[in-house]
Amino acid sequence: MIVRKSLILAKKELFSMFNSLAFYGICLFFTLFCSIWLYYLQRYFTINMASLRPYFAAFPIAFILVIPMITMKSWAEERKLGSIELLLTMPFSEWELVLGKFFASLGVVLVLLSLSLPVPISIIPLGRFELGVLAGEYFGALLLGSSASALGLLLSSLSKNQAGAFLGAAAVLLFTMLINQLTMSMSFPPLIAQMINFVSLSFHFDSFSKGIIDTRDLAYFVLATVLFLFLNTRVILFRKWS
């Protein structure tokens, strides 16, 4: 029942997104960024390697800007326009409202991932690529997008306007995506390094980018997504009774 109502809300959100020019700008940015990263920055055709790891390495970096663009309107715009009060008076629970926003954001992430498919499809005939590895890489990208979207929605619910939601989500995602680079470039005690890597989304995506489905990283993404969504419901509940 909760999922059915959430999907109804998600359909409304997706319809609104698909009728926005910003959505097509996001799609264009994501596809161009990942393609330029692979062909120009990574010089893919010169590395003589039948692997798309350099391609998927661009996804966490692209998500730093793409996910905030997707989620910044979700709650911040409702709050700015005052429509959040109307939304909270409707016969929906906090979980139904949050999941509706989340499913809509995840739907956009799925669209972005589908738009990235022409690149591997065009490259696969050139070498001996493992389709299982490619499937694992896309599965990891979906989990990464799921956790990042849940985090972006949480920050949108805490922001008063779209600009604040975008900047806040971009800053936090920049931190969580790239903080593991510190452990590669600096020497930390093992315990500190493990703590830094634990909070890094891109660190947990690394095994998926190799086509390896590690249950620890799978559990991390699932639990992180649930945690961010739960915190989002608490924020919405506070808004409802404040």
Model confidence at 2, in pLDDT bands (50, 70, 90)?
low
Model confidence at 219, in pLDDT bands (50, 70, 90)?
very high
Percent of the chain with pLDDT over 70: 93
CA distance 167 to 70: 12
Q: Is the pLDDT of residue 48 over 90?
A: no
pLDDT digits (tens, 9 = 90+) for 8-28: 888 888 888 888 888 999 999
Q: What is the mean pLDDT of the chain?
A: 86
CA distance 63 to 145: 7
Per-residue pLDDT at 54: 86
Per-residue pLDDT at 155: 93
Percent of the chain with pLDDT over 90: 40
Tokens of 132: 């299982």
pLDDT digits (tens, 9 = 90+) for 114-129: 999 998 888 887 777 7
CA distances for 233 relative to 1, 110, 154, angstroms = 17, 23, 9
pLDDT digits (tens, 9 = 90+) for 167-191: 999 999 999 998 888 887 777 788 8
Q: Is the pLDDT of residue 194 over 80?
A: yes
Model confidence at 81, in pLDDT bands (50, 70, 90)?
low
CA distance 150 to 145: 9
Q: Is the pLDDT of residue 90 over 80?
A: no
Provide the greatest CA pair distance for the chain. 60
Per-residue pLDDT at 122: 85
Contact call for residues 167 and 78 (beta carbons, < 8 A)? no
